[in-house]
Structure 1
Amino acid sequence: MLELDFILKRAVSEIISEEELRKLLASGKKLRLKEGFDPSSRDIHLGHMVGLRKLRQLQELGHQVVLIVGDWTAQIGDPTGASVTRPTLTAEQVRVNAETYMQQFFKVVDKSKTEVRWQSEWFGDFSLADVIKLTSRFTIAQMLAREDFKKRFESNRPITITEFLYPLLQAYDSTAIQSDVEFGGNDQKFNLLVGRELQAMVGQTPQQVFMTPILTGTDGVKKMSKSLNNYIGVAEPPETIFGKVMSIGDDLIIQYFELLTDVSDEELRHFQRDMEGGRTNPMLLKKRLAREILLQLYTEDEAADAAAQFERVHQRRELPEEIAECRVSFNAMRTGDCDEIDLPCLMLATGLAASKGEAKRLIAQGGVSIEGEKVTSEKAALASGCVVKAGKRRFARVIDSDILKAS
């Protein structure tokens, strides 16, 4: 079991108040650890995993995680960290997203030690009088103290009244479940503190606020985000996770070790010194990192297979053992009267690219090959059954469906 100092210091940006939290942890009380999520999307990535690991660590000390599914607030939209409002979702979209999200959540957090609550349990019967009573406790000036609201107000960009409601509803969640500690990224500080204030107003002991750092995305620039396509999803196949970890810049290696693994601080200091002194190959550290992450999400055999596939495909330049077969009509993709295929159309049809624009960029950058030969033209002659590779990790064995019909 991990030492308490490790849990409260490693991968932690701020605790309000650490002294109070330490006293609570020493008291022997089984703490209620609040984690809320708005199922505005279905997927969890490694950026979310930073905080989820903290929940798991405290579960192992005997504490209770309370997972709140924000089925009401997801239909409002929280602008945290954004300069525009999020689109609202239907109740059905929220429920579908939540089911997938929870499957991934429990890849990290112990399901048997988690209490799942839906906001509709208490907001389902919320009346207009309840809303007015809740809003009367806070002022517009308090809301404008939140950085993203302040920026939008100063630049004359719209802020809806419903957005002001979001932190109040999140705070009410804390009173509804009598939260002892609420977790979130350091970009959620304002909302977390509103919960602490509201609990004090209604006579509850104010919750402790436990904030974790924001993980940098694979691009090495912005925070990890699915919308920025710089993410590593916890439910992605092991070989995909392994490959994406291997693609990060060397300057992210220590950050990822610190935030996503339990490798000791002392060992990380050795890693840092060895890299700075040129005494270790960063690729070896990335392989260790990828394995440490995968072992939290998959079995040891699956992690080993992912490492073996990376070496086979990316280091020895061999083909993966399994390549998806895609059947398409070559005739429908021919350019004019010649036998050449419109390659961007083929890549879009086979899922090797999300759009023709992306396909054209990959071709221009030398990121597309057919049977191991790099392609520089958007037109190419293909034989049925050939393997097309796009980028570093996408492969497709292309079958001409016209030939199959003829036979």
Structure 2
Amino acid sequence: MDISKQVEILKKNVVDLITEEDLKSKLEKTKAEGRPLRVKLGADPSAPDLHLGHLVVLRKLRQFQEFGHRIVFIIGDFTACIGDPTGRNKTRPPLTEEEVRKNAETYQEQVFKVLDPELVDIKFNSEWNAPLSARDVILNLASRYTVAKLLERDDFNMRYKSGIPIYVHELLYPLFQAYDSVAIRADVELGGTDQVFNLLVGRDLQQSHGQEPQVVMTLPLLVGLDGEKKMSKSLGNYVAFNDPPKDMFGKLMSIPDDLMPSYFNLLTDYSENEIKRILSGHPRDAKLKLAWTITSFFYGEEEASYEQEEFLRVFSRRELPEYMDAYEIETLYNEGVRTITDLLVFIGAASSRSEAKRLVAGGGVQLNDTRVDDPMAPLQLTPGSVLRVGKRKFFKFV
């Protein structure tokens, strides 16, 4: 494809492009050299699951792959032990090496749900960061960047002015992340708009090491299911790659209506005209289309269609789901289950007795279509009883 056309496609949804001229130049140069661009994405395995917020950037990487370029996906097992201070008003608690290792294993599996594994190199940044000596850190990293520049960063600046402590290891984080670009000689680096400072440090560090600076591309942060804050595992407003299809479909049906344009634009391949047409109809139908499209991407059209029918069965026609987890009443009583609280914990609908009581107090528990108000009410189950917890969890008793 013509390079100008490639650039136009790659620019779609991009917020920062530093710089477009550099991107064109690199595409022309690599074409002349007969090699692909090295396109970098780094992710610290601070949680076990990738979510739809990550999908925004991964879809852009997939576009690079479709033009024949190579992705270098860097799992920040070293930087995760420091903790990215981006957007934090206090020091992030460090992860153990064991936590990082377990999370990193899941990242490798999940990234290939989006990217072509034939055009991906997976690297761990401990490979080049861990062997650095104190002398290396001082002379090759710390001496190449000023404190004044680091304090220009919004979160550091806010904490400094507010008197909130900033520890030296937090100041080093952007330098270690930037050194990844030096280590792999990145041509392009992608990230969310909250990462623009770190990505620009990568450009600076490459230049100070005599390399051609990488192109920086940032993409919008996906707003989470709450409709307010960016999607995040820690905030609980996320849809994970590994969510079961039922949960994925149900969560997407719960998003506020005003998020649909950005979700369609950032997470699907529909054209602008198709999105306008879909959104011009009934909001529920548009949301069904969105939930079906994303669920089918991860689980296939047949599974997505089944979950759509199940959703309509339960929420439109007010029928029970086709399949529900079933428990034997006799077994429950033999195990000492005597109250609704006991039951919620035993079947895994609540992680603790206190959470079970909160669910009941919040009106989220129904037994045979009757709201349960007393968490300690004696359990009265008969064959065919159905327990509903929240909007999407159903259990039957035999």
TM-score, normalised to structure 2's length?
0.91
Structure-2 separation of matches of 1:39 and 1:201: 28
Q: Which moved more, 1:21-30 or 1:43-52?
A: 21-30
SS of the residue 2:217 aligns to: strand
**1:213: how far off?**
0.3
* Aligned residue number for residue 237 of structure 2: 230
**1:365: how far off?**
3.8
Pair 1:64-2:70 in alignment: yes
Pairing of 1:73-152 with structure 2 (within 5 A): 73-133=79-139, 134-152=141-159
* Aligned residue number for residue 363 of structure 1: 360
**1:85: how far off?**
1.9
Residue 10 of structure 1 aligns with an amino acid whose one-letter code is K
Residue 147 of structure 2 aligns with an amino acid whose one-letter code is I
**1:355: how far off?**
4.2
SS of the residue 1:36 aligns to: strand
- Runs of 5+ in structure 1 lacking a partner? 275-279, 335-340, 400-407
* Aligned residue number for residue 20 of structure 1: 22
Contact 1:7 1:54 (8 Å CA) reproduced? no
SS of the residue 2:144 aligns to: coil
SS of the residue 2:83 aligns to: coil
Pair 171,73 (structure 1): closer, same or farther in 2 beyond 3 Å: same
Structure-2 separation of matches of 1:162 and 1:232: 32
Structure-2 separation of matches of 1:319 and 1:132: 64
Pair 1:255-2:248 in alignment: no
* Aligned residue number for residue 348 of structure 1: 345
Q: Deviations over 1:46-101 (max 9, x none)?
A: 01110011011111110000011111111111111121222222222211110112
Q: Which moved more, 1:178-187 or 1:121-130?
A: 121-130
The percent of aligned pairs where both chains have the same amino acid is 49
Pair 1:319-2:316 in alignment: no
* Aligned residue number for residue 42 of structure 2: 36
Q: Deviations over 1:200-231 (max 9, x none)?
A: 11111100111010111111111111111111
Q: Which moved more, 1:21-30 or 1:243-252?
A: 21-30
**1:271: how far off?**
4.1
SS of the residue 1:115 aligns to: strand
SS of the residue 1:296 aligns to: helix
* Aligned residue number for residue 337 of structure 1: none
Pair 4,359 (structure 1): closer, same or farther in 2 beyond 3 Å: farther
Residue 12 of structure 1 aligns with an amino acid whose one-letter code is V
Residue 150 of structure 1 aligns with an amino acid whose one-letter code is N
Match of 2:373 among 359, 370, 376: 376
Structure-1 separation of matches of 2:290 and 2:6: 23
* Aligned residue number for residue 270 of structure 1: 277
Please provide the CA RMSD for this pair. Answer: 2.1
Structure-2 separation of matches of 1:384 and 1:91: 49
Structure-1 separation of matches of 2:28 and 2:393: 51
**1:392: how far off?**
0.9
Q: How many residues align?
A: 386
Q: Which moved more, 1:365-374 or 1:305-314?
A: 365-374
Structure-2 separation of matches of 1:329 and 1:13: 58
Structure-2 separation of matches of 1:304 and 1:284: 14
Q: Deviations over 1:244-278 (max 9, x none)?
A: 11111111111100111111012223345x2xxxx
**1:300: how far off?**
1.6
* Aligned residue number for residue 338 of structure 1: none
TM-score, normalised to structure 1's length?
0.89
Residue 167 of structure 2 aligns with an amino acid whose one-letter code is T
Residue 126 of structure 2 aligns with an amino acid whose one-letter code is S
Structure-2 separation of matches of 1:85 and 1:250: 35
